[in-house]
Amino acid sequence: MTWTLSVISRDVEYNLSDNVDYLLTGIDGIAAAPVTRITERGPMQHGESDLGYRLQPRKIALALMARGGDDAAWFARRNALMSIFRSSDSPLNLRITNGDMVRQIDCYLNGTMEMTPEIGLSPGWQRVGIELIAPDPTWYDPDGESVAFALGGGGLLAVPLAVPMQVGASSIDSTIQITYDGTWDAFPIITLQGPMTNPVIRNQTTGDKLDFTGVSIAAGDSYVVDCRYGYKTVTRTSDGANRIADLTADSNLATFRIGAHPDVPGGYNSIRVS
């Protein structure tokens, strides 16, 4: 196996496939996310009418062999794994790394973690079974990527389109085509850095926009727009105030995204910042 599996727990990364302390013997649930179709049926209708779909939470099962040894080593390894996968309000980050490719998913321990003592077949090792659940079933690149928008007054503006996405400076009215090769839509975190007035961000391909017409952001201040599901917030960084009311009524915070193929053919997203 050339790729590695690790878990990040409380900002510490643990390699679960190093073949020293842990052997990864099996993993399930890492391909396509589970899907449920939405349907309706009229009183005299044969069959059903399809209304679309929704992704469901993803369950991931891990099978490991953990190095033990004598009784003291066995209990030490058990305590270490219980600490790594301890349930909390903060998610674990399950990470797959294959060369330069890194994908991550946020999950929680689901049910129990089984740790069977060695039975003589593999002296010094114990079998471990772990079931995780990812409420958001999509994998993401934790580093993201960035592009540059030209400012009206000259210079360049870096705009990371995964997490985060930033715009700011004197004036800007620029459109760039973003080729997004992900397999699911990306919902960015956008930072609007002052001083600026009437900022508008449009995805001209999907038709979604974030319109702050009539709003001025002071120098040294910024607005953070979190488009991710479970958040959908607009926060002023100077005081932490909720500024979602500053968006115009026809803005699309609920759906603003960087669209993936095939909903956006070829993943070509035309992003305009003005």
Q: pLDDT tens across 154-169, in order?
A: 333 344 444 444 544 4
Which pLDDT score is estimated for 143? 86
Which pLDDT score is estimated for 153? 43
Q: pLDDT tens across 193-216, in order?
A: 888 889 899 999 999 999 999 999
Mean predicted lDDT score pLDDT of the chain: 86
CA–CA separation, 258 and 205 (whole Å): 9
CB-side neighbour CA atoms (13 Å) of 47 = 2
Percent of the chain residues topping a pLDDT of 90: 59
Which pLDDT score is estimated for 82? 92
Residue among 232, 13, 5 at smallest CA distance from 102: 5
Which pLDDT score is estimated for 103? 94
Give the pLDDT band of residue 7 (cuts 50, 70, 90).
Answer: very high
Which pLDDT score is estimated for 160? 43
Give the pLDDT band of residue 118 (cuts 50, 70, 90).
Answer: low
Residue among 188, 196, 191 at smallest CA distance from 171: 196
CA–CA separation, 58 and 26 (whole Å): 17
* In the chain, domain spans: 4-134, 146-273
Q: The domain at 4-134 falls in which architecture?
A: Beta Barrel (2.40)
Which pLDDT score is estimated for 191? 84
Which pLDDT score is estimated for 157? 39
Q: Which residue has the higher pLDDT, 30 or 73?
A: 30
Q: pLDDT tens across 31-43, in order?
A: 999 999 999 999 9
Give the pLDDT band of residue 147 (cuts 50, 70, 90).
Answer: low
DSSP code per residue over 63-122: EEEEE--SHHHHHHHHHHHHHHT---SSPEEEEEEETTEEEEEEEEEEEEEEEEPP-SSS
